[in-house]
Amino acid sequence: MDCFLKPKRIVWMSFALASLLCIPDKGIAQKSIQDYNEELKSVSKVGVFPKNAPDGLYNFAVTGEYRFFGTYTQMDSAYSLDAGGNSVTKPRSLFIGDDSQLPNMTVNFSGRPAPNAFWNFDLYAFQFLEGTVNSSYGVQVTFNDRPTIYNPVISTIKPGQTMGLLLGISTNAGISTDYGNFGVTLGGTQWLSISDLTLAGFRGYNRFMLFERNPWDPVANNVDDRYETFYSQGNINQDTRWGERAFNGFTLRANNLPGDVEVLAMVGKTELSGGFVQIPNTSYGGKIGKVWNGNLRTYINTLNNRLYLDSMAQQEVGFHVVTGQIGYDYKSFGFDFEVGAGKYFSPFHDLDWGEAINLKFRFPLITDRIPSELQVYQISPNVVNNNAIYWNTAITEATANDIPAGSIGSSAVLQPFSSPILPIGLMTNNRRGINLNMEYKIGDLKLSLANGIAEEMQAVSNLITFGHPVNQLTRSRFWRWNFPAGVGPYGRQSVLFRDTYETMEVRDVEREVIDGEIVTTLPIKRFNVLEVQGRYKTKLFHRNLYANLLNRYSSVQKDISAITVFDETAYLRHYSNELEIYYQIFQRLMLTTYLGYERVLGNYDTELALETGKPRNQEGRGFGFGCDIELGKNAGLFLRHRFFEFEDRSFTADKFSGQETVVEIKVAF
């Protein structure tokens, strides 16, 4: 989840999620994280680019993919979508198309006119909207304008009637010379990263579930490949968008330069600085580095943004981040240190430069059979950059208009402005912490364990935010088209791209009278996260059976603790347990099942319900089953059915249950 994005920018990013899969004659590109990292380290014949050109000479080739996606939801009772109760979920709803308006079809055109050069560009087309591209994006066809099933006459508006061109064209070209490999990308949506503290997408430690597919998941060669790869490697085949950020503009890449120097330069718009506001808004940056004898790597990285609040370009807003990075690997040991500084500026802030530190040590713990990584980080509240792997929770950012975050046309970033519970590896500013990750194998059981400890540097908010991993996608689909904040029966839910988060208030504050004025002192909050994952493979009736168990135990409290706090001294206790089992019944048929349970508990120092006088007492369950069916070469049918329920026993209006069926057909060509 690269997270808390403005809706129009998410749509710009989402339209292109399938754009970089373009290997003619081989269908859609399918590469693991390790493959991609090795590719970045290697020197290819045409340089390192977001896309891969096929081998051999050819004048012209076309490749792409088509994806059908539909959801049917049945609610047992109405659930309020806003605090006023003016909008509720429908008893039954059928939705064709992706919730985030991703295109149903992506087409790539490419050519290789010479052995050392290639070009390609993408088109994104056909989504189930009216098709007119307005100042924001195509709108949903209103109910009154839709044709009836009894009389679908030509005069009515047909959903999906326009094979519209979305987001324009993304053009790539590359050439290899005796002086180095050079590539350029123009316009469209391209995917790239610089470093964790400047520009990157969150990858985590591959602790995720597979039951509900991502829109960008490729079609595997065999129905078993997805699950076998996850068990054996800890991840699934991903394309070059994995861990990258969407970018629109001009990018220049060069490697294998004299002295083994690498260069990346970029100017344009990131997913958080795009949109339709006419006043200038530009991001620019890049990196320059060198690889020393293969094991030692050094880089200088930077990302900068500058926009204006007024049409006269007098009120500037933006940030600067500059870091130095050094990495080294030797057998099972290694480190990756990134240290730098950043600052945020606006008419309302005059902040000094602050530190940004992210140190990672890789080593075997006791024995080589327990590979481990220790991460230590500290990011100043003055460092604001939502394009990196840390969120802004300290500074209320200035915006170019007053449209609320999450609404069409807004230039505000949807973000918590508080203290979120985060998975291991994801950070925020105004926080320092330490994470320890370990892996261990016992026979066919592969274990992954992580413990994280963190604390705020300054007490700037009395709010805590947290998500609901069980049924998170089903929950996010209650709200269509926009990514609103402050919704739900108590106005405390905010909707993200394929996720939601909830806000909770801490009442444990101290007040004293100083010089006749009441001064409020907020507590410094401390955080603990414990993640445990187990992957297992065996045979059942001579067929492969896989199991994936993921447990997370988190707490937020006033005092520092070595492990998660499990008693009522914690402001918030958040537990989730998810289990998936995958079984290959036949060569072309894979059965998938899901079971999830979550528990969220607040103490009496947090907000209390008016109806019961008690803090949060939440319980969520999910049970699902489905199958993957191989339809043929580069084609698959994916069916999922889920039973879901959620209840807050204190805030009694926050309760829902129902069923959901998902159908996906994906074809690569």
Domains and CATH numbers, the chain: 7-126+163-668 (2.40.170)
- The mean pLDDT of 486-505, rounded to a whole number, is 89
Residue 59 and residue 652: Cα distance in Å, rounded?
Answer: 65
> What is residue 641's three-state secondary structure?
strand
- φ/ψ region of 488 (left if φ > 0, alpha if ψ in -120 to 50, else beta) reads left
| Per-residue pLDDT at 146 | 60
- Of 275-289, 430-444, 571-585, minimum mean pLDDT range: 275-289
Report the relative pairing of strands 390-391 and 427-428 from DSSP bridges: parallel
Q: Give the side-chain half-sphere CA count within 13 A for 288.
A: 3
Residue 143 and residue 47: Cα distance in Å, rounded?
Answer: 50
DSSP H stretches of helix in 193-327: 225-233
What would the two tokens of residue 377 be? Answer: 């980080």
- Diameter of the chain measured on Cα atoms: 81
H or E element that contains 575: strand 572-586
Does 425 score more than 50 pLDDT?
Answer: yes
| Per-residue pLDDT at 22 | 30
Residue 411 and residue 272: Cα distance in Å, rounded?
Answer: 9
Does 39 score more than 60 pLDDT?
Answer: no
- The mean pLDDT of 570-576, rounded to a whole number, is 97
Higher pLDDT pick, 24 / 305: 305
Task: Report residue 166's pLDDT band, with 50, 70 and 90 as the boundaries.
Answer: very low
- The mean pLDDT of 470-481, rounded to a whole number, is 88
Q: Are 537 and 526 within 8 A, CB to CB?
A: no
* pLDDT digit string, tens, across residues 539-548: 999 999 999 9
Residue 474's φ and ψ, nearest 5 degrees, are -60, -45
Question: What is the rounded average pLDDT for all residues in the chain?
Answer: 81
Higher pLDDT pick, 276 / 627: 627
Q: Are 661 and 510 within 8 A, CB to CB?
A: no
Give the CA radius of gyration of the chain. Answer: 25
Burial class (CB in 10 A: 0-12, 13-18, 19+), 250: middle
Task: For residue 314, count other CB atoms closer than 10 A to its CB.
Answer: 9
Residue 129 and residue 131: Cα distance in Å, rounded?
Answer: 5
* pLDDT digit string, tens, across residues 354-374: 999 999 999 998 888 899 999
Higher pLDDT pick, 484 / 250: 250
- The mean pLDDT of 559-585, rounded to a whole number, is 96
Q: Are 395 and 349 within 8 A, CB to CB?
A: yes
Beta-bridge partners for 629? 589, 637
Task: Report residue 8's pLDDT band, with 50, 70 and 90 as the boundaries.
Answer: very low
Concatenated DSSP letters for 531-562?
EEEEEEEEEETTEEEEEEEEEEEEEEESS--S
Concatenated DSSP letters for 414-468?
---SSEE---TT-EESSEEEEEEEEEEEETTEEEEEEEEEEEESS---SEEEEE-
Task: For residue 561, count other CB atoms closer than 10 A to its CB.
Answer: 15
| Per-residue pLDDT at 412 | 52
Residue 35 and residue 99: Cα distance in Å, rounded?
Answer: 31
Residue 222's φ and ψ, nearest 5 degrees, are -130, 150
482 closest CA partner among 13, 124, 5: 5
- The mean pLDDT of 39-68, rounded to a whole number, is 55
- Of 49-53, 249-253, 602-606, 620-624, minimum mean pLDDT range: 49-53
642 closest CA partner among 581, 589, 595, 582: 595
Residues comprising the chain, all counted: 669
pTM for this entry: 0.81
What would the two tokens of residue 138 be? Answer: 């195509």
- The mean pLDDT of 640-654, rounded to a whole number, is 96
- The mean pLDDT of 72-90, rounded to a whole number, is 89
Tokens 């892996």 map to which residue?
A: 439
Does 123 score more than 80 pLDDT?
Answer: no
